[in-house]
Amino acid sequence: MAICFITGKTGTGKTQHLLEQIIAKSKVLPSKERILIIVPEQGTLDVQYEMIQKHPNHCITDIEVLSFGRLAHRMVDELGVAGKTVISDVGKNMIIRKIINDDSKSYPFLAKNIHKKRLRKRIKRFDVRVLKVYDYR
C-alpha cells in the first residue's frame, strides 16, 4: 500500500487525475481486492457519483468511498472490538496518578507536577498516540 500526495491550485485537475488513476488500477485489480478512497464526510456521495460517471462500466463494485468516521466504524466491526468496555477519562487519570504515586522516585518531575491538570491531559494524549501507533503495527 502506498500513499501519494497530489498538490496544486484549484481547478488544475487533481481530482480528475486521481479518479482516472483509481479507475485504471481497478480494471487490473484481482477480483478479491478492493480500493479504498477516504474523503471528508460531506464528499462521499459526490466522489461516488463522479466515479460511477467516469468508470467505463458505470459501476464501482471494487472501489469503496469512505469517510473517516465510516472507516472507523468499519474497523471496529471488522476487528470485533464493538461493545467492549473503554476506560473513561476519569479512569485514565486515576491510573496515571496511581502509577506515578506508587513509583514517584522513577518519575520525580511527574510526581511533583501530577496534580496539574495540563500535565495529565498531555500524558493521556501521548498514551492515545502510542496506542494508535501500536495498533497499526
For the chain, the domains span 14-79, 89-135
What's the confidence (pLDDT) of residue 137? Answer: 44
What's the confidence (pLDDT) of residue 136? Answer: 47
Taking the C-alpha atoms of residue 136 and residue 3, their distance in angstroms, rounded to an integer, is 15
pLDDT for residue 135 is more than 70: no
Task: Collapse the DSSP code of 29 into the 3-class scheme (helix H, G, I; strand E, B; otherwise coil) and give the result.
Answer: coil
Q: What confidence category does residue 82 fall into, taking pLDDT thresholds of 50, 70 and 90?
A: low
CA-closest candidate to residue 55, choices 83, 80, 23, 82 = 23
Taking the C-alpha atoms of residue 124 and residue 96, their distance in angstroms, rounded to an integer, is 8
The three grid cell numbers given for residue 77, joined into one nine-digit string = 466491526
Cα dihedral 84, 90, 93, 97, rounded to 10, equals -110
For residues 55-82, average pLDDT: 82
CA-closest candidate to residue 55, choices 10, 14, 15, 22 = 22
Q: What confidence category does residue 130 fall into, taking pLDDT thresholds of 50, 70 and 90?
A: very low
pLDDT for residue 48 is more than 80: yes
